[in-house]
């Protein structure tokens, strides 16, 4: 551990020790270092109270009522690094299954570790305050050591997620810990030990008390895993999925004409795994792309499921309190994912496809279709995807107008030249001009478009 701790973090620990306080590295950075993963967040814990930390560390900011102080320390490749230092504490009164109503600051690192969620997160590396008298050549300062009261080292080596103490008590304190157990098992390729897993199944209903934001944060991390399907399957197995995302839980058992013996939920899992991890919006869309199928199983079957699915996807994204821009993109991808390409499409048809989808959303939609193909047991480029991708690229390279911004005239031009006021009429004329230009790119010059707009205006009179 000594060699792995960054210089800036050691500097903060030295500063705390020199002022007579305990200093420990805690949490995921120790876990990741011990199992051979790159560690990123180097958080610290100390017996110093927040007001004392603010006096010791100029520029530090007291972040919340739970005793966390943020310190901007040094640089890493030219970018400043923010470390969180939290006062030892003991939580009390978890009445809402989400957060402590009250905390008490403490003086013992072992008591602080005892309130943490899982054994692999309940380790610390550092030392208590040095004895009075300061440092000398004979007394160079405290010797840091690993504190592991709950067997986190052994569980890390066994790649096991185990609750600290009694699992039911830990999950009763904060129901998010059940979701976090699944996320850690997924992202670390761990298994959840039997007693902890049984407690999750027994108390899954507590997850209904969680806020959308907290669930979304864990879901985002789970979907970033190499194989998110393992975690999604675990959510379903433990009944957490039925509580948090009941629309997806309904996919189990819904028959699919894809791979023999597979149901709709299996198809969704394969599609999510096939979606690129570097595109989190696509992975979210892959998770939700067929969410409308259970409700439309008798309509064709599944006729119009993309329309129903888009509505359900919006409701889910709103429930998870996702940013509007993310919600709109995911809903749009779900709505558009059932496009059908034919080799007989004209160039104008390809341009209309681009216009309908939107240039910005095209890469995501094509990536979603590729993942959907894989999830259906097909080649990624099947259903003419390779040909469509090539034709789309050709149209984009030709710099043809594919949206209003590509027109040779804009709203201000029509308002100034033809006296058209801002409003629905102006928008309709711009849309009609775009449709004409998509059909015939040669029309896209200012004089021609002004004449066309003038004739359209005359038709309204």
Please give the average per-residue pLDDT across 118-125, as a whole number: 97
- The torsion angles phi and psi of 68, rounded to 5 degrees, stand at -105, 130
Q: What is the pTM of this model?
A: 0.86
CA distance 15 to 334: 53
Find all residues with CB under 8 Å of 365, minimum gap 6, and list them. Answer: 333, 336, 337, 339, 357
Whole-number pLDDT of residue 282: 97
E-only strand ranges, 66-156: 68-76, 79-87, 89-92, 102-105, 124-127, 145-147
Query: Which of 162-176, 194-208, 212-226, 446-460 is least confident?
Result: 446-460
- Asked if 71 and 12 touch (Cβ cutoff 8 Å), the reply is yes
The two structure tokens encoding residue 362: 């095209």
Query: CATH topology of 7-155 equal to that of 159-244?
Result: no
The domain limits of the chain are: 7-155, 159-244, 276-397, 406-460
The two structure tokens encoding residue 44: 């610290």
Beta bridge partners of 186: none
Whole-number pLDDT of residue 388: 96
Strands of the sheet with 145-147, listed across from one edge: 61-62, 68-76, 79-87, 43-46, 23-26, 124-127, 145-147
**Angle between helix 305-319 and helix 280-288 axes, rounded to 10 deg:** 120
Band of residue 60 on the pLDDT scale cut at 50, 70, 90: confident
Beta bridge partners of 163: 118
3-state secondary structure of 91: strand
Topology, domain 159-244: Hydrophobic Seed Protein (1.10.110)
Topology, domain 7-155: Beta Polymerase; domain 2 (3.30.460)
Task: Indicate whether 92 pLDDT > 70.
Answer: no
CA distance 28 to 121: 6
CA distance 246 to 240: 9
Burial profile 79-118: b = 16 or more Cβ within 10 angstroms, e = fewer: eebebbbbbbbebeebeebbbbeebebbeebeebbebbbb
Please give the average per-residue pLDDT across 214-241, as a whole number: 97
Whole-number pLDDT of residue 181: 98
Band of residue 340 on the pLDDT scale cut at 50, 70, 90: very high
Convert the pLDDT of each residue in 235-253 to its tens digit: 999 999 999 999 999 999 9
Q: What share of the chain is helix, strand, coil (3-state, %, to 5)?
A: 50, 10, 35
Whole-number pLDDT of residue 41: 85
The two structure tokens encoding residue 84: 């969180």
Convert the pLDDT of each residue in 353-369 to its tens digit: 999 999 999 999 999 99
Whole-number pLDDT of residue 74: 58
3-state secondary structure of 461: coil
The two structure tokens encoding residue 193: 């030990």
Burial profile 394-421: b = 16 or more Cβ within 10 angstroms, e = fewer: ebeeeebbbeeebbbbeeebbeeeeebe
């Amino acid at each position: 551990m000594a060699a792995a701790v960054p210089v800036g973090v050691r500097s903060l620990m030295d500063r705390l020790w020199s002022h007579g306080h305990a200093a420990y590295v805690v949490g995921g950075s120790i876990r990741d270092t011990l199992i051979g993963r790159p560690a990123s967040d180097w958080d610290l814990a100390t017996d110093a109270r927040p007001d004392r930390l603010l006096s010791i560390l100029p520029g530090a900011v007291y972040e919340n009522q739970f005793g966390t102080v943020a310190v901007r320390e040094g640089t890493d490749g030219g970018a400043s690094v923010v470390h969180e230092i939290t006062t030892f504490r003991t939580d009390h009164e978890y009445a809402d299954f989400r957060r402590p109503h009250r905390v008490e600051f403490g003086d013992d690192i072992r008591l602080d570790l005892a309130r943490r969620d899982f054994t692999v997160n309940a380790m610390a590396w550092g030392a208590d305050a040095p004895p009075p008298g300061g440092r000398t050549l004979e007394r160079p300062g405290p010797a840091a050591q690993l504190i592991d009261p709950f067997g986190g080292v052994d569980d890390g080596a066994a790649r096991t997620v185990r609750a600290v103490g009694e699992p039911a008590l830990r999950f009763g304190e904060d129901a998010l810990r059940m979701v976090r157990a699944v996320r850690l098992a997924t992202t670390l390729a761990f298994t959840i030990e039997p007693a902890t897993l049984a407690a999750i199944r027994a108390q899954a209903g507590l997850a209904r008390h969680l806020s959308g934001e907290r669930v979304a944060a864990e879901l985002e991390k789970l979907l970033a895993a190499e194989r998110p399907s393992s975690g999604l399957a675990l959510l379903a197995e433990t009944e957490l999925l039925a509580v948090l995302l009941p629309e997806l839980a309904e996919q189990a058992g819904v028959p699919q004409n894809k791979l023999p013996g597979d149901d709709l939920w299996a198809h969704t899992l394969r599609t999510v795994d096939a979606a690129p991890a570097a595109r989190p919006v696509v992975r979210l869309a892959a998770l939700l792309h067929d969410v409308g199928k259970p409700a439309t199983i008798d309509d064709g079957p599944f006729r119009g499921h993309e329309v129903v699915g888009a509505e359900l996807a919006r409701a889910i994204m709103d429930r998870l309190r996702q940013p509007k821009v993310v919600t709109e993109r995911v809903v749009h991808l779900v709505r558009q994912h059932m496009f059908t390409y034919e080799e007989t499409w004209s160039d104008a048809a390809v341009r209309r496809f681009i216009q309908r989808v939107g240039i910005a959303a095209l890469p995501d939609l094509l990536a979603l279709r590729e993942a959907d193909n894989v999830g259906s047991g097909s080649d990624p480029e099947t259903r003419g995807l390779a040909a469509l991708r090539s034709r789309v690229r050709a149209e984009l390279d030709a710099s043809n107008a594919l949206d209003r911004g590509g027109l040779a005239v804009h709203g201000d031009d029509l308002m100034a030249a033809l006296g058209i006021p801002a409003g629905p009429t102006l928008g309709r004329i711009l849309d009609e001009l775009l449709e004409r230009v998509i059909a015939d790119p040669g029309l896209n010059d200012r004089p021609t478009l002004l004449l066309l707009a003038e004739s359209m205006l005359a038709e309204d009179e």
